[in-house]
Structure 1
């Protein structure tokens, strides 16, 4: 039987309070060149062809330590934008996001450099996450082995621009997973590997949760969310459609997509 005091003693890690994210996109090509752009800046007029996208609309929820939360929804529903806002990479137009510590969006996405070797990127990524050189040295081989990118050759010594998108995503996840995070957000990384990599990834997520971390997982694979997450948040057209146990939310989402 569930402990009736469990909810009261849970520790929040992320609180989203009526969050709205609005960004601007250029709907047309460049017009008028630099002189026209300067004139618009001085006159404070918006550029022609620019339109606003209201990507996240009034989303509110609280995430707790030890939870693995799947974010599901159709393409363009605002999942990745919401994660970027939680990580501080996307400004919030209205509402507030509170977080415990610094949430990591796969930990090192912005830090990795395509012209550097995988080996150098492991070091760079580890430093970007606050690991010491000694910690990186101690965990280096585990990171490479976890990623599996050397199973068919010495790819770790090659520039990352030579990697497939799947290899790059696996290495990024492996670097991020080498450190414990209070809040770790994963955007589709588990969909890039074979079954063995997915099993390793799911086991690592369980370890993070057991160490009182919170994991967010964006995935188009409902099966992955069912297996990996105990809770799911369903976004549709930027709004929160449903939030609850992953099985219930996934069942409702699948029924919705079948009828769409």
Structure 2
């Protein structure tokens, strides 16, 4: 029997490579760099990084999918490819609707007030000015940045990194998305904010979207996602129910006796 679920993202044999300038030369590299600047010589050494290696999967409407793996495993790079910000070197990414990568679509500006950033961030996420006006109070309340003062009227550069992350999530969560990509946004804030965020993700799924969540917090993944994809060194190590994937990942990362 054919699968009747509606696919929202199809990643088909995707490889992603990019180049990094200025390879390290070990001890004395700072002196060497200064010498190159003074002599106006070009920086030697261009290293090619193969960040994602032949990854394939399909995501479906209504799913919340966790992405886990060691540092440098390709999680954030894969999210950028799904969002259309990082073209694959090989393979293809198909999406239904417009994916929204949290913190990129809702890019906030440090010299502007939080209030102004809510407006600009909302417009960047595809909301109309009328929708932003209607949801403004809810966005600010959800973020919790005004609980200890009128921070929404202050420039964003005065915010802590946690306050900025909470405001970004609040703006993104104010509308429904075909595909919402969240990279470590829920690792900031207290337990109450994290619970509100997880509840809102569940609402977004029910409103028809698909949510991808990258987090180093296995607890957050377990509480939020019903399916998890494990990337390791750019390859897809495991894809399945969160409970099974997390158990295998914990076994892999636990200290060996």
For normalisation by structure 2, the TM-score amounts to: 0.91
Alpha-carbon separation, structure 1, partners of 2:136 and 2:104: 15
Give the unaligned 5+ runs of structure 2.
24-32
Question: Deviating runs (4+, > 2 A) in structure 1?
Answer: 27-37, 107-111
CA distances 1:197-242 after superposition (whole Å, capped 9, x unpaired): 0111011000111111100000111111111000000000000000
Instruction: After TM superposition, list the pairs within 5 Å mapping 1:70-81 onto structure 2.
Output: 70-81=66-77
Who is 1:19 aligned against? Answer: 14
| Contact persistence 2:98–2:179 (CA under 8 A) | yes
Who is 1:182 aligned against? Answer: 178
| Contact persistence 1:80–1:218 (CA under 8 A) | yes
Alpha-carbon separation, structure 2, partners of 1:32 and 1:96: 40
Name which of 195, 199, 210 aligns with 1:199. Answer: 195
- Let me know the Cα RMSD of the aligned residues: 1.8
| Contact persistence 2:82–2:93 (CA under 8 A) | yes
Instruction: Name the SS of the counterpart of 1:8 in structure 2.
Output: coil
Alpha-carbon separation, structure 2, partners of 1:182 and 1:223: 25
For normalisation by structure 1, the TM-score amounts to: 0.90
Who is 2:251 aligned against? Answer: 255
Instruction: Name the SS of the counterpart of 2:88 in structure 1.
Output: coil
Who is 1:54 aligned against? Answer: 50
Who is 2:225 aligned against? Answer: 229
Alpha-carbon separation, structure 2, partners of 1:119 and 1:214: 28
Give the unaligned 5+ runs of structure 1.
38-46
Note closer, same or farther for the CA distance 1:21–1:209 as it changes in structure 2 (3 Å cut). same
Alpha-carbon separation, structure 2, partners of 1:121 and 1:173: 13
